[in-house]
Amino acid sequence: MLDLQTISLISQLKCPNCGTSYSHLTVQTVCQNPDCLSSLYSEYDLPDGLIPEQLLAGRPTNMWRYQEFLPVVDPANIVTLGEGFTPILPLKNLKGFAEENEVFWKDESGNPTGSFKARGISAAVSKAKELGITNIVTPTAGNAGGALAAYCASAGITAHVYMPKLTPNIFKDECRLYGAVLTEVDGNISDCGRIANEKAVANDWFQVSTLKEPYRLEGKKTMGYEIAEQLGWSLPDVILYPTGGGTGLLGIWKAFDEMEGLGWIGSKRPRMVAVQSNSCDGITQAFHQKKTYSEAIDNGFTIANGLRVPKPYADKLILKVLRESNGNAISINDCEMEAALKEIAFREGMLFAPEGAALWQAFKKLKATNWIQTGERVLLLNTGSGYKYLENISI
Ligand SMILES: *Cc1c(COP(=O)(O)O)cnc(C)c1O
Ligand SMILES: [Zn+2]
C-alpha cells in the first residue's frame, strides 16, 4: 500500500529525443548533448494499484491535487495562488452549430492572472524556489510575464520580464504592479527571447522561456489530469488547443501517458489539433507538408498575442504528437477570431481570449469538412480571459 502522504514521485528528468538522464535535484534547462538540445521531460515512479478516487478524495481543488505527479519534493516550496481545477462547461446556446456533437469548453480564464500560464509558472517558480533560485527571467507575449511576476511576488523571487512593445498595456501594468522588472522590446517574442537570454547569461538569472525550462510543462500537464478526472476517466475524441509554444499540447499528451501507466485510463487517445494564428502558423504549414520540424513564420501583429510565436522551440515534439494522435493543424485569422470572440460572448456569456475563441472557428471548419464526425466528443481549451485583450478588440 502506498503511503498517501508521499509527495512527489519524480525520479529524474529524461531527454525525449536522445534518452540522456538528468537529476531533478540540481538546476536543469535543456538537454546538454550539443547535437540534441531538446526540452527535458520529468519522469515519475508510477505505482500500480493507486485508485484515483481514493488518492484525490478531499484534495484541494487546484492543480496541486496531483502533487505526486508534480516535481516539487518539499511541499513547503509550493507557490500556489489557487491555479487549476477549472470548470468544463458544455456548449449551450451555440449547440445548434454543433449538431450531434458533444462539445465542451474547459475554461482557463478563472486562473490567477487570467490565463492558464498560471499553471506552468506555479510549477516552475515552486521548483526554482526549491533549488534556491533568486532571479528569474522570461520573454513573454503577455500572459507568461504577468503570471511570472505574480508567482515571484508570492515567492519572494525577483522577476525580469521582456515583452514586445506592441502588447496591450494591461499586460505591462500587471507586471509592474506585481513588482517585476519589465523591459519593453521593439520586436516580437523571438527578439525578447534573444535579449532575455543575453541578460540571463550576463547576470546569472534563471530562464523560464517556454520548454527551455523543464517544469512549466509539468504545471500545464495538469490540464490533462483534470480533463480525465472531470469527465469520469473517459477522454474526449478530439481536443483543440491554441498553439504558441505548444506547452499545453505536449503537457496534456504527457499526462495521458502517465495516467495510462497508472492504469487510470486505457490506451485510446484523443486526436489533438493545433490551432494557430495565420500570423505565425509554422506548425500548421509543417504538419500539412508532412515535415518533422517547422520554419520560422512571422507575418506580424495578431490580436492573439499568445500565438505570436514564429518558431516554437519544441516544434519537433509538437509535430510528433499531432502525427501520433492522428490529429490536425489549422490556422485562423484575426478577423475570424474577433467574430468568434463576440459570438461566444453574446451567445454563451463568456468573454474568452482571442486564442481560445479561435478554437470555435477551427471547430466549425473541421466539422464542415467532416474531419470532426457526427457523435464525436470535442473539448475546446479556452486558455485565457478576454478581459485582458479589450485594447485589441473593436467593440
Ligand atoms: C501562451 C498562450 C497560449 C499558447 O500556449 P503555449 O503553451 O505556448 O502553446 C495560448 N493562449 C493564451 C491565452 C496564452 O497566453
Ligand atoms: Zn537529448
Which pLDDT belongs to residue 4? 43
Which pLDDT belongs to residue 166? 87
Phi, then psi, of 304 in degrees rounded to 5:
-95, 80
Which pLDDT belongs to residue 131? 97
Q: How many percent of the chain have pLDDT more than 70?
A: 98
Which pLDDT belongs to residue 97? 79
**Rounded to whole angstroms, what are the CA distances from 301 to 34, 107, 112?**
34, 25, 26
Tell me which ligand sits closest to the C-alpha of residue 13. 2
Which pLDDT belongs to residue 2? 45
Closest CA relative to residue 236, chosen from 363, 93, 384: 363
Which pLDDT belongs to residue 3? 46
**Ligand 1 geometric centre to CA of 189 (Å):** 13
**Ligand 1 geometric centre to CA of 242 (Å):** 7
- The total number of residues written for the chain in this structure: 395
Q: Which atom of ligand 1 is nearest to the CA of 243?
A: 9
Which pLDDT belongs to residue 206? 97
Which pLDDT belongs to residue 6? 53
Q: Which atom of ligand 1 is nearest to the CA of 251?
A: 7
Which pLDDT belongs to residue 22? 98
Which pLDDT belongs to residue 1? 40
For residue range 103-114, what is the model confidence (pLDDT) as tens digits?
Answer: 999 999 999 999
Q: What is the pLDDT along the chain (395 residues), one digit of tens a residue?
A: 444 455 899 999 999 999 999 999 999 999 999 999 999 999 999 999 999 999 999 999 999 999 999 999 999 999 999 999 999 999 999 988 777 899 999 999 999 999 999 999 999 999 999 999 999 999 999 999 999 999 999 999 999 999 999 899 999 999 999 999 999 999 888 899 999 999 999 999 999 999 999 999 999 999 999 999 999 999 999 999 999 999 999 999 999 999 999 999 999 999 999 999 999 999 999 999 999 999 999 999 999 999 999 999 999 999 999 999 999 999 999 999 999 999 999 999 999 999 999 999 999 999 999 999 999 999 999 999 999 999 989 98
Ligand 1 binding site (Cβ under 6 Å of any ligand atom): 115, 117, 143, 210, 242-248, 306, 353, 355, 383-384
Beta 41-44 vs 88-90: how paired, if at all? unpaired
For residue range 289-309, what is the model confidence (pLDDT) as tens digits?
Answer: 999 999 999 999 999 999 999
For residue range 221-261, what is the model confidence (pLDDT) as tens digits?
Answer: 999 999 999 999 999 999 999 999 999 999 999 999 999 99
**Ligand 2 geometric centre to CA of 340 (Å):** 40
For ligand 1, atom 3, the nearest C-alpha belongs to 306
**Ligand 2 geometric centre to CA of 141 (Å):** 27
Which pLDDT belongs to residue 359? 98
For ligand 1, atom 8, the nearest C-alpha belongs to 245
Q: Ligand 1, residues 108, 116, 359: which to mutate, most atoms within 8 A of Cβ? A: 116
Q: Which atom of ligand 1 is nearest to the CA of 247?
A: 7
For ligand 1, atom 14, the nearest C-alpha belongs to 306
Tell me which ligand sits closest to the C-alpha of residue 17. 2
Which pTM value belongs to this model? 0.97
